């Protein structure tokens, strides 16, 4: 899995002009599922996100996690995170899990996050989505874990 984490003041996702997910202070997650990802990887990722200390404490240090600030999550399935742009001009999406594999893993990940007591909103899998956000910072991190992730992230 690969997850782009953005700390936000607010974020929303629309499908067909209708808002289907919306949060206030928290994290916007763009979630990419790789071929071969499994529940162990999704468990690790959910734990990492739930406990990631990217919110500022009273001293201005990134020392607080979602629960500490009453933060929410907007999780958007994003297969293009798996795009390999190293050769040619058209990204290869070989490492992206096919939809029948990716959707159950994405939903499992979302359920695990909810299990930490975090409010989680989502988009609609495979829909054309319009995502809006107000970055806070901006603070952005890429988290990777899995058979196809870079070794540095494991």
User: Could you list the active site residues?
Assistant: 78-80
C-alpha to C-alpha distance for 84 and 133, rounded to whole angstroms: 25
**Inter-axis angle of helices 39-51 and 99-114, to 10 degrees?**
40
CB 96 within 8 A of CB 79: yes
Of 64, 73, 154, the residue nearest 109 (C-alpha)? 73
Of 114, 28, 109, the residue nearest 73 (C-alpha)? 28
């Amino acid at each position: 899995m690969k997850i782009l984490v953005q700390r936000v003041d607010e974020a929303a996702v629309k499908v067909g002009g209708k808002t289907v997910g919306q949060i206030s202070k928290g994290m916007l997650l763009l979630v990419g599922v790789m071929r071969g990802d499994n529940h162990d990887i999704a468990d690790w990722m959910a734990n990492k996100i739930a406990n990631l200390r990217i919110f500022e404490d009273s001293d201005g240090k990134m020392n607080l996690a979602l629960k500490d600030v009453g933060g929410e999550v907007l999780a958007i399935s994003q297969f293009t995170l798996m795009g390999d742009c190293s050769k040619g001009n058209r990204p290869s999406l070989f490492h992206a899990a096919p939809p029948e594999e990716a959707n159950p893993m994405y939903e499992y990940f979302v359920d695990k996050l909810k299990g930490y007591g975090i409010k989680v909103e989502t988009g609609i899998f495979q829909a054309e989505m319009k995502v809006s956000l107000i970055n806070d910072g901006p603070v952005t991190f890429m988290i990777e874990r899995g058979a196809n992730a870079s070794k540095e992230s494991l």
